Every structure is written in structure tokens, then in C-alpha cells.
Amino acid sequence: MALLTQARFPDISENAGHYESFYLKAAHPAGGKAVWIRHTIHRRPGHEPSASVWFTWFDADAAGPQATKATFAVAELSFPASGYIQVGDSVLEPGHAHGGAASESLAATWDLRFTTEGEPLHHLPYEFLYRSKLPKTKLLSPHPCARYSGSITVADARIEIDSWPGMVGHNWGAEHAERWIWIHAADLGGSAGDYVDIAMGRVKIGPGTSPWVANGRIVIEGEPHRLGGFRGTYGTEIAEAPTTCEFTIPGKNVNVKGRVSAPAKDFVAWVYADPKGPEHHAMNCSIADLELRIERPHKRHAQIDVPGGAVYELGTRDHDHGHPVQPYPDG
């Protein structure tokens, strides 16, 4: 399957709605601290597009995350030949992310180098699905297991980052899933190169909503296992809430059971606009606790805990989740 990391926006009709995101996450190896940075494009059908840079610093010892967002006209958006995306002065390219975002409430800058381990992860199991109209959301992780070093500045505080595990992701489409969950953690059990990256979604089908469909991968003891898939809905169990999710996701020669959770204070909530509307709210905690039980034939079951180093993101049209929403419009 070819790597499809290049931006899709330049090939989209001017009259079509489109959103696209390149994002990264890095968490302290001991947990409790993490940075999340997102570069986005948004266009409503027939309207002028806009581009934004989003930033969140998570610290379990603080009262809550520190977040900011800067939005630019399309003239400030470009796609360097050697990189993935540039919005304003913020650039994400292979091996390097640098830039900044400032608002009235917070200014942040970053200069991060990263190395990667393992193969890219195409969450959709077949390449033709990345070219077809359905599903309307496309997702891949060009670097599902990365390691970051450098520094970030949050307000007046400089934070050194030294070999923090994380990832780089890319998604795009005509509309968001009706409801979605993203779970990610790297260095499972302290093993470099082991990670879990799972995206789960429910989509609108007429007046109803589909069951949960999960797609992802877990690498355990250096061995990769595909998880979920459109044929793997049988056996998939998801029980989600605004601060926690319990899940069972089968895969080929593996069954993964887990729980991800964090205190409400450690979540950041954003408005995520659909190109055709209405809006979603997305709640993200990148310092969540993750408990995994990995069951494999002819092997002892593995129990792995990732304290304060996992991502739990929940996207929903519900607005009664209890998390204060960042004061930045989208789209």
C-alpha cells in the first residue's frame, strides 16, 4: 500500500467541502506531561478556506491543560516539497516540527526533531478506500511510533524534551464521523518500538448510526498485529464516556482488552466543525492512563499499564459532556 501522506487539499474541487489535519503528540517517558500540536485546513462548500495551528500542553500537576489556536487566511497555507504542511510560520516535515501559535490567552512556540520506528499505519485496510467517496473520513499514521527531542515554550516557560515517545498522524475528508474515539500510546511496557494506535468510529446511515468500527495496530514484543476492520465488528465492544473508555477489540491472532481514563481536569475540549455542519466537540487528554490486556494464542497473556502517557480522544455532537470548550471557532 502506497504511503498517502501528501496533503489532499490541493486536489479537492473549490466547490467541495473539505477538512484536513496533520498532527503530532509527544509524552514524557514517565507520564504526566505531553504536547499535542495540530495543523488544519477547513473549507465549507463554495467558501474560502482557512488554515489553523492548534497547541496544547498537558501537565498532570497543573490545574488543567494550556491551549491556544491561531487561524490564518489561505494565503498563509502551503505544502513544501520537502514537507507535509506549512501554516503561517509553523512547519511539519519529515523529522522536524517547528513554529508557534499565539492568541490573546496564550503564546506557544516549538522546535522538535523526531525519529521514527516501524512502518506507517494505514487505518483503512484497503488502499481503494483512500480513493473512494466512502468512508468520508480517511485516516493514517505516517509515523505511529516516533521519538521527539527539542524544546517548547509555553507562555514564558521553556520545556526541554528529550527522547519523548509519540507519533505523527494525518486525516482528511468531507465530514467527520458521527462519533469517534482515538487511543494511542508508545513504548508499551517500556519497550521502544512497541505501541498501540486505534481509531474507532460510528457513521451516520440514514436516520440511524452504525455500530462501532475499529481500525488500528498493536505492536507487542516487536510483533505487529492488525486490529479491528470492517469484518471485525463482531467481538468489538466499546463503552465510552467523557473521561473514560473500556474496550475489547479483536484482531488476527490477538484480542486486546483495555481501559483508558483521566481526570476531567486533564482534558482539553475543542470545536471541530464539519465542512457542511453542524459542529462536533472533541475532547482530548494526551496524559491518560491506559491499561491493556493482550491475549494471543499459545502465549501468556500480557498485561501492560501506561500511566499518564496515552491519548484518549472522544469526538461527538453531544455538547453536554461537562468539559469547558476552548473559545476558538473552527471553519
Tell me the domain boundaries of the chain.
18-316
Rounded to an integer, the average pLDDT of 7-14 is: 88
Considering only 34-38, 174-178, 216-220, 323-327, which range has the smallest mean pLDDT? 174-178
> What's the confidence (pLDDT) of residue 140?
95
Grid cell 519497550 is found at 191
- The pLDDT score that the predictor gives to residue 76 is 96
Report yes or no: 42 and 52 within 8 Å, Cβ to Cβ: yes
Closest CA to 23 of 42, 2, 39: 39
Residue 171's pLDDT is what? 96
pLDDT at 152 over 80: yes
Q: What is the pLDDT of residues 11-48, one digit of tens each?
A: 888 888 999 999 999 999 999 999 999 999 999 998 89
**Torsional sign, CA 225, 227, 231, 237:** positive
Instruction: Find out whether 49 and 273 touch, Cβ atoms under 8 Å.
Output: no
Q: Is 271 strand, coil or helix? A: strand
Q: What is the CA radius of gyration of the chain?
A: 18
Tell me: pLDDT of 164 over 60: yes
Mean pLDDT score of the chain: 94
As a whole number of angstroms, the distance between CA 315 and CA 283 comes to 6
The model scores a pTM over 0.85:
yes
Indicate whether 134 pLDDT > 70: yes
Q: Calculate what percentage of the chain has a pLDDT beyond 90.
A: 81
Q: What would the grid cell of residue 229 be? A: 476492520
Mean pLDDT of 169-197: 95
- Does position 197 have pLDDT exceeding 90, yes or no? yes
In this structure, the number of other CB atoms found within 10 A of the CB of residue 190 comes to 9
Q: Look at residue 158 and tell me whether its pLDDT is greater than 70.
A: yes
pLDDT of residue 81: 86
Residue 4, pLDDT > 70, answer: no
Q: Pick the residue with more confidence: 125 or 162?
A: 162
pLDDT at 131 over 80: yes
User: pLDDT value at position 233?
Assistant: 66
Q: Is the predicted pLDDT of residue 144 greater than 80, yes or no?
A: yes
Tell me how far apart the alpha carbons of residues 214 and 198 are, in angstroms, rounded to a whole number. 7
Helix (H) / strand (E) containing 53: strand 50-59
Spatial distance between the Cα atoms of 137 and 314, rounded to a whole number of angstroms: 15
Whether 257 has a pLDDT exceeding 90, the answer reads: yes
Write the pLDDT tens digit of every residue in 73-84.
999 999 998 899
pLDDT, tens digit, 9 for 90 and up, residues 213-253 = 999 999 999 999 999 987 656 789 999 999 999 999 999 89
Using an 8 Å Cβ cutoff, are 157 and 149 in contact?
no
Instruction: Report CA 72 to chain centroid distance, whole Å.
Output: 22
Query: What CATH number does the domain located at 18-316 have?
Result: 2.40.370.10
Cell of 77: 497555507
Q: What is the pLDDT of residue 2?
A: 44
The confidence band for 276, taking pLDDT boundaries of 50, 70 and 90, is confident
Res 109: pLDDT: 98
C-alpha cell at 153: 515554550
Of 40-44, 260-264, 277-281, which gets the smallest average pLDDT? Answer: 277-281
Residue 303, Cβ density class (10 Å: 0-12 exposed, 13-18 middle, ≥19 buried): exposed
pLDDT value of residue 188: 96
Place of cell 486490529: 227
Per residue in 52-61, pLDDT (tens digit) is 999 999 999 9
